[in-house]
Amino acid sequence: MELYTDEYFMREALKEAQKALDIGEVPVGAVVVAKNRIIARAHNQTEKLTDATAHAEMLAATSAANYLGSKYLTECTLYVTLEPCVMCGGALAWVQLGKLVYGASDIQRGYSLIKQQVLHPKTEVAKGVFANEAKALIDSFFKRIRE
């Protein structure tokens, strides 16, 4: 039995997204994994930090780099519940992320809408892991906003 699957780590990212939802933030969560260990976890905190750039990926990547004492995350995998935006995609390029795994696609803001290369050319990408669960969290947030 393989314990450290993409599903295992994405479940941790979903827990982060749930924390965001609980405090009224857009529910996106992320974890950074190195050698099967979670070295950083974060959720969206744009409201709490009054910072529109405080996305889960930005916070998790910065935290992971800090932990490793390295500007680069070439040996790391970042799990995030929603497809990164263009800003976050650009950030993940600068840190030379080893692998990106995301849940739901973001059909409005996702980096993959950009025709040119946004991520680092060496970054592996996998998507769709617990996409429905990730999307359900976001839908429930926006449903609550509209009510």
Active site includes 25?
A: no
Residue 34 or 86 with smaller CB distance to its own copies: 86
Residue 3 carries which DSSP code?
A: S
d(CA 56, CA 85): 11
Residue 40 β-bridge partners: 32
Applying CB under 8 A, which residues contact its own copies? 46-47, 50-53, 58, 61-62, 65-66, 69-72, 85-91, 93-96, 113-116, 118
Please state the closest distance from residue 116 (CB atom) to its own copies, in A. 6
Residue 128 carries which DSSP code?
A: -
d(CA 59, CA 40): 9
Please state the closest distance from residue 50 (CB atom) to its own copies, in A. 6
Strand order through the sheet with 99-104: 37-43, 29-34, 76-82, 99-104, 124-127
Out of 16, 25, 57, 83, the active site residue is 57
Please state the closest distance from residue 75 (CB atom) to its own copies, in A. 15
Identify which of 59, 32, 61 has the alpha carbon closest to the alpha carbon of residue 44. 59
Please state the closest distance from residue 69 (CB atom) to its own copies, in A. 6
Residue 42 or 91 with smaller CB distance to its own copies: 91
Residue 41 or 55 with smaller CB distance to its own copies: 55
Residue 101 β-bridge partners: 79, 126
Residue 62 or 128 with smaller CB distance to its own copies: 62
Task: Please give the positions annotated as active site.
Answer: 57
